[in-house]
Amino acid sequence: MPPRIRLIFSSLMVVLFLIPALSLYRDLARRDDIWWTPYALRVPLAESQDRVEIYVGGRPIGALLEAGELRLSDQPGSSILSPQEIGLRFNNWDRVRARRIPVLLTYAAACGAMGMLFLLFVTGRMVYRGEKPREVGP
């Protein structure tokens, strides 16, 4: 294979390697603590019953709030907590991580395939050598 064509194909393989490699790096280098529900969008206690249950002293927090048994102490005094004053934030990292696995595996497979093709081109293993005539026996 002429050196010019080998250079073109090698350059193409490097570019095709960098596309999934940069995507893979971007996904793996992302911070893990950004998957929390934003504070402004925290979920009220009544809407979070399907994802979390909170117990205080062995009793559900909802029952304690309705009975007026939870108080918030601060400097001037104390006040009874209401269910509207409690909001929950969830860490969705486990769900996001499960959705990312197939994409990351695809990127890794593409990087491996492009790396292998690049090495085959650089080492000259993909050179067309033509057909050899068969030797016919006596």
pLDDT in tens, 5-58: 778 888 888 888 898 899 889 888 887 777 777 888 888 888 887 778 888 888
In this prediction the pTM is 0.51
pLDDT digits over 60-81, tens only?
888 888 888 888 787 677 778 7
The domains of the chain are located at 1-36+91-127, 38-90
Instruction: Considering only CA atoms, give the Rg of the chain.
Output: 31
Distance CA 92, CA 88 (A): 13
Q: What amino acid occupies position 92? A: N
The pLDDT of residue 23 is 87
Residue 129 near residue 42, CB atoms below 8 Å: no
The pLDDT of residue 109 is 92
